[in-house]
């Protein structure tokens, strides 16, 4: 059964102005309720399409302090409150030792809304600054170090999955970075098994637009913490991809959704990878 099919009915079973404590001060406007409803529907569609809930009992939610991870947590708590997500949630922030990082913001906020959480300190900032040459981008190494620590924490907490807040644009930008710079067709998977085979990585926001997540974060008044490490650098390849996609969307509205659908409709025989499709097995059928 398509679990997203009845989201409208499920949403209407409770007053939109109530719910988890996180939504206590949420707007009551029609526009916000439509946004909230759309995001819930898209998250549930991702659950359904990628069978994200199969065998899952406990999730570690990566919380960076940015709009997307806050939004992810809020939507999952909303679904949990509605009885539509039978999974225990633990929020986790990895304090990477960045200068001037406001250490109090996340623990205070998570405690205020009653969310079980773990704050882990690991000075990966010094490692990144030491290893990456001046003027180069930090994102790749920073991300790998952060991911490795989150994998470890997830297993220590007995979680079945690490859940991350990557959205539609993150997936498309990654695809084009690989396409233009890596010479391969690959994006961010919505569901991934780690190399050890003992932990799932899930991205429930795969269908959610970044613009919607930004509007949601503003309306919810999340205490956003900016990234002063990679966010301070200009000329990142990802920023170039973001600008390109934004320009395409301005010229041809709806193209981002079309591109995302294309990633789910792959025809191997119409590409050029002999490892993916056995071109040598093609033979002309003789006719008399």
Structure tokens at 89: 């949630």
- 267 inside domain: yes
- 101 inside domain: yes
Answer with the residue of higher pLDDT: 123 or 211: 211
- 286 inside domain: no
pLDDT band for position 19 (cuts 50, 70, 90): confident
Structure tokens at 283: 């033979």
Q: Which CATH number covers residue 143? A: 3.40.50.620
- 283 inside domain: no
Do 41 and 6 touch, CB atoms closer than 8 A?
Answer: no
pLDDT for residue 128: 66
Give the whole-angstrom CA distance, residue 235 versus residue 237.
Answer: 6
Mind listing the pLDDT tens digit for each residue in 89-124? 999 998 877 777 888 999 999 999 999 999 988 776
Angle between helices 168-177 and 255-263 (to 10 degrees): 70
The answer to whether residue 49 scores a pLDDT higher than 60 is yes
Mean of the pLDDT values across residues 248-260? 97
Judged by phi (left if over 0) then psi (alpha if -120 to 50, else beta), residue 114 lies in left
pTM: 0.87
Mean of the pLDDT values across residues 258-276? 95
The answer to whether residue 17 scores a pLDDT higher than 70 is no
Give the whole-angstrom CA distance, residue 115 versus residue 91.
Answer: 7
pLDDT band for position 246 (cuts 50, 70, 90): very high
Answer with the residue of higher pLDDT: 204 or 104: 204
Query: Taking the C-alpha atoms of 164, 201, 186 and 138 in order, what is their torsion angle to the nearest 10 degrees?
Result: 50
pLDDT band for position 232 (cuts 50, 70, 90): very low
- 263 inside domain: yes
Mind listing the pLDDT tens digit for each residue in 126-153? 666 666 666 666 666 667 777 888 999 9
Q: Which of 122, 71, 114, 31 is nearest to 224 (CA)?
A: 71
- 285 inside domain: no
Percentage of residues of the chain with pLDDT beyond 90: 67
- 2 inside domain: no
Q: Does 159 appear as a known binding residue? A: no
**If DSSP codes are grouped into helix, strand and coil, which group holds residue 240?**
helix
Please tell me the total count of domains within the chain.
1
Percentage of residues of the chain with pLDDT beyond 70: 83
Rg (CA), the chain: 21
Q: Does 92 appear as a known binding residue? A: no
pLDDT for residue 12: 47
- 287 inside domain: no
pLDDT for residue 199: 94
Q: Which domain holds residue 181?
A: 7-277
Q: Does 208 appear as a known binding residue? A: no
């Amino acid at each position: 059964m398509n679990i997203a099919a009845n989201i409208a009915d499920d949403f209407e079973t409770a007053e939109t102005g109530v719910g988890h404590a996180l939504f206590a001060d949420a707007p009551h406007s029609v526009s916000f309720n439509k946004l909230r409803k759309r995001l819930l529907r898209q998250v549930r569609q991702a659950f359904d399409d990628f069978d994200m809930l199969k065998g899952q009992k406990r999730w570690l939610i990566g919380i960076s302090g940015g709009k997307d991870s806050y939004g992810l947590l809020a939507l999952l708590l909303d679904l949990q409150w509605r009885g539509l997500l039978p999974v225990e949630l633990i929020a986790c922030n990895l304090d990477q030792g960045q200068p001037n990082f406001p250490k109090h913001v996340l623990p205070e906020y998570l405690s205020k809304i009653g969310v079980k959480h773990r704050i882990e300190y690991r000075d990966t900032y010094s490692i990144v600054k030491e290893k990456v040459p001046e003027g180069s981008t930090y994102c790749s190494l920073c991300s790998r170090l952060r991911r490795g620590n989150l994998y470890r924490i997830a297993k220590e907490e007995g979680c079945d999955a690490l859940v991350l807040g990557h959205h539609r644009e993150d997936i498309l930008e990654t695809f084009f970075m690989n396409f233009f710079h890596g010479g391969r067709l690959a994006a961010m998977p919505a569901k991934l098994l780690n190399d050890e085979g003992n932990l799932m990585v899930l991205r429930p926001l795969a269908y959610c637009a970044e613009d919607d997540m930004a509007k949601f974060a503003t309306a919810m008044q999340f205490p956003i913490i900016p990234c002063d490490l990679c966010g301070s650098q200009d000329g990142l390849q990802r920023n170039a991809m973001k600008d390109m996609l934004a320009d395409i969307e301005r010229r041809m509205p709806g193209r981002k959704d079309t591109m995302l659908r294309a990633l789910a409709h792959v025809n191997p025989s119409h590409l050029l990878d002999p490892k993916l499709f056995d071109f040598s097995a093609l033979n002309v059928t003789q006719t008399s």
